[in-house]
Each structure stands twice: as C-alpha cells, then as structure tokens.
C-alpha cells in the first residue's frame, strides 16, 4: 500500500479551551509524545505533533490510513489529562490524503486561524517540524509536506494582502481590552509570561497607550529583559500575587501546566483593592487563570474563546484576500498530490529500468562472447553506449507517462498493466 497523509486533532472551532488544554503538549511532552507514538502506533510511519493555544493536531503518514487514524485517536485519548471529564471523541476531526494536505496548507497560511492573517502559526509549525525531525519521526512524505506548507504560507503572504495589517492573538486581545477601557494611560497592566506572546502583547499595549506595565515570568531574567525593552517593571514570579492589587488588567500568556491565579487569590486581592473592578484576559496555551474567578463580583475574565467575536470581524475585513489565498492553497494541494503519486510510481519506474538493463546486459554479454567476440575494446564500448541509448529511448515514453500520471482509474490501469506485462512484481 502507498503512504498517505493523515491528520487527527481538534481546534478552536471543534472544541472549547477546556478540552483543547486537556490534550495540549508543551515542549518536553512533545518529544516524549513522539517517542510514545512511535512505540505504540504500529501503523503510523511518520509523525509531527502541533500544539498551540488554538489547536492540537497529529500529522502523520501511513500506508494503512484506517489503522493509523484509529491509533492517533487512541494516542490523544491516552495522553489526555486524567481529570478531564468531557468526552474527547466528539471534538476530534480527521483528514486524509489531499484533504489533509489542504488542511495543513490552510493552517500554515493562517486561513484556519482564529485570527486570519496572523503570522505566529507559521513559527509554531516550523518548531513542531524541527522537534519531530530531531526526534527522528519525519520521513520522505512529511519532510516534503512541511517544506511545501512553508512555501505555501510564503506564497499567500506575498501574493495576497491577507497580512497587510499586522494581526495576532495578542493584537486581538488588546482590541478586546480597548473595548473594556475607554483609555489606557491611567491603567496598570500586569503581564504574566515574557515569551514570544508576552513580548508581542507588551508592544501592542504600549502602542495603545499603556504607561504602567508590570512583567512577571518564571525566570526573573526573562521578566527583566522584557521590562527593560518596554520601560516596564519586572516582578519576581514568587512575588507577583502581592502586586496583583495594583493591576486593573491582568493578562496571562505563560506556558504554565497549571493554573497560576485561583479564585481565593483574587478574592483576597479584591478586598485589598476595596472591590475595585479587575479584568483578566487569558491567552495561555493552557489556561493561566481559574475559570471560577469569573463568578466573583467585580471581576471579569475573558479567555481565548472570547476573542472569537473580535477575530471574526477581522475575518470579514479580509474575506476577499482569503478567497485568493484559498486558490493558492488549492493549486499547491494539486501539486503536492502529483508529487505523492509520482512517489507511488517510483518503485514501478525503478523496476522497469532494472528489468530492461538486465536484459540488455545479458544479451550484450552473450553476443560479445559469441559472434561478436572479435570486436576491439573501442567497438565494444560503442556497442555498449548504443544499446544503453536504445533502452533509454524505448523507456522514455512509458516513464514520462508514469511521472505525469493523474491518479485516475485509467492511470492506475497503466501502472498495473506495465507491472503485469513486464513481470515486475516479485514472485511469491
């Protein structure tokens, strides 16, 4: 059987954040997950795990797509947080063949993102591919597929205006904050997390007038580094709860495996603030804030799913460019499919070459040791070149036809006929 691409996963459309975060992988878990998948899933021949705040997907290549799809679902269920109680299966989707390539190309081009046009997903895809490559789980098919999806993303960004205005989850979160506050210059913001998302968030906040910004991070050096760039105040991670009372807006974008701010902590902070309202925006891959704090009076919590309404307005603005991008994706899906089919034909082409070369060499040797044994070395070499050229010319037509195949029924018939007519299949 020939390999095909399979994707099993869930995203911001198919599952709420509580379900997404229950199957999320951080950097260390991703390497371990790839090892476990390789050990447990016999049908999965190649694999890459993509895990972001909006999606968790396993991209695989396998000859037995049916078995591989089932193994990928079992793998995600096995990896899932044991405390999660909502059924996972109903939130999972599965793509195969050209549909899988189309999905990955749309993801890379941000057409499947909550914020269409955002550039972060491409970096996340490259990182997922790098981890898988270093873990030894990428082969011929996924290597080609990922490099192609990077190329598609570049085409979409250069040939359409889909990214003409910088957008990201961070910028959408700041747009949401602008709807909460009429002005930013008299507000104090605490940023939890100083990674890439935190840096983008800090820049957007400053651009919109925030003057007082506290930054905390698990590594204090990270907080100091970011704070120095934005003239903010670094806070040691273990001390941030006591500074919460100063914050009107708290934004969580840390890649933490557990909740960082719980309801009792917020109740205590509110008493210290004399019940002055606080707003929390949570855009962590896994939620940084306890969902129960939204039930506390004078506290307003928004998570990444609440950004959808703002993001959909963004999509409407870009719908015309998105249509152009979809056309590019379709062209590239067809191109990748042609390549994959040519890969499927490679064994037939190689077998055909080998068969003809065997015949040529055998007959040449028979002639040169019989009727043509008196030929000089120069004449023997000329004869060798002539017969070799004859074989190439004879095979040129059939092989060109194979490489340009359309994968329809007629084309598959040609492949089967060639293998049978020239006895190319190994004897059982």
Catalytic site residue 253? no
Question: Which of 53, 149, 253, 361 is labelled catalytic?
Answer: 53
Coil vs helix vs strand at 353: helix
Rounded to whole angstroms, the Cα distance separating 312 from 305 reads 12
Of 289, 202, 300, 291, the closest CA to residue 240 belongs to 289
CB 329 within 8 A of CB 111: yes
Rounded to whole angstroms, the Cα distance separating 250 from 214 reads 9
Rounded to whole angstroms, the Cα distance separating 104 from 152 reads 10
| Segment 243-248 long-range contacts (CB within 8 Å, at least 24 positions apart) | 243/190, 243/214, 243/216, 244/190, 244/269, 245/269, 245/272, 245/273, 246/188, 246/190, 246/214, 247/188, 247/189, 247/190, 247/214, 247/278, 248/181, 248/187, 248/188, 248/189, 248/276, 248/277, 248/278, 248/279
Distance, C-alpha 299 to centroid of its chain: 35
Other Cβ atoms closer than 10 A to 117:
26
Other Cβ atoms closer than 10 A to 24:
22
Task: Describe the strand order of the beta sheet including 249-252 as a list of residue ranges.
Answer: 233-236, 212-217, 188-192, 249-252, 278-282, 299-303
CB 351 within 8 A of CB 419: yes
Q: Which residues are the active-site residues?
A: 53
């Amino acid at each position: 059987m020939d390999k095909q691409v399979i994707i099993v996963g869930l995203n911001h459309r198919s599952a709420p954040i509580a379900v997404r975060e229950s199957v999320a992988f951080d950097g260390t878990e991703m390497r371990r997950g790839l090892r476990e998948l390789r050990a447990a899933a016999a049908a999965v021949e190649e694999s890459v795990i993509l895990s972001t705040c909006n999606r968790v997907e396993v991209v695989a290549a396998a000859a037995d797509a049916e078995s591989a799809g089932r193994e990928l679902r079992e793998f995600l269920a096995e990896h899932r947080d044991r405390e999660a109680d909502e059924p996972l299966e109903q939130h999972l989707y599965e793509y195969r063949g050209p549909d899988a390539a189309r999905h990955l190309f749309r993801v890379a081009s941000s057409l499947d993102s909550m914020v269409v046009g955002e550039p972060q997903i491409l970096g996340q895809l490259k990182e997922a591919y790098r981890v898988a490559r270093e873990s030894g789980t990428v082969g011929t098919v996924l290597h080609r597929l990922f490099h192609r999806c990077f190329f598609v993303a570049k085409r979409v960004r250069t040939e359409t205006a889909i990214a003409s205005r910088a957008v990201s989850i961070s910028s959408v979160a700041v747009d949401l904050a602008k709807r909460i506050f009429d002005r930013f210059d008299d507000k104090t913001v605490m940023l939890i997390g100083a990674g890439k998302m935190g840096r983008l968030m800090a820049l957007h906040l400053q651009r919109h007038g925030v003057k007082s910004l506290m930054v905390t991070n698990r590594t204090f050096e990270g907080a100091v580094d970011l704070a120095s760039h934005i003239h903010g105040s670094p806070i040691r991670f273990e001390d941030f709860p006591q500074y919460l009372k100063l914050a009107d807006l708290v934004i969580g974008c840390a890649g933490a495996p557990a909740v960082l701010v719980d309801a009792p902590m917020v109740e205590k902070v509110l008493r210290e603030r004399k019940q002055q309202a606080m707003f929390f925006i949570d855009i962590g891959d896994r939620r940084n804030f306890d969902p129960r704090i939204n039930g506390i009076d004078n506290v307003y919590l928004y998570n990444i799913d609440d950004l959808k309404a703002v993001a959909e307005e963004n999509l409407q603005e870009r719908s015309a460019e998105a249509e152009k991008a979809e056309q590019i994706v379709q062209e590239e899906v067809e191109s990748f499919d042609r390549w994959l089919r040519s890969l499927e034909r490679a064994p037939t082409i190689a077998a055909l070459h080998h068969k003809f070369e065997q015949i040529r060499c055998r007959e040449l040797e028979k002639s040169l040791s019989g009727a043509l044994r008196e030929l000089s070395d120069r004449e023997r070499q000329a004869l060798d070149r002539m017969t070799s050229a004859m074989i190439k010319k004879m095979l040129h037509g059939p092989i060109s036809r194979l490489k340009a195949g359309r994968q329809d029924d007629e084309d598959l018939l040609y492949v089967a006929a060639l293998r049978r007519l020239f006895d190319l299949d190994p004897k059982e």
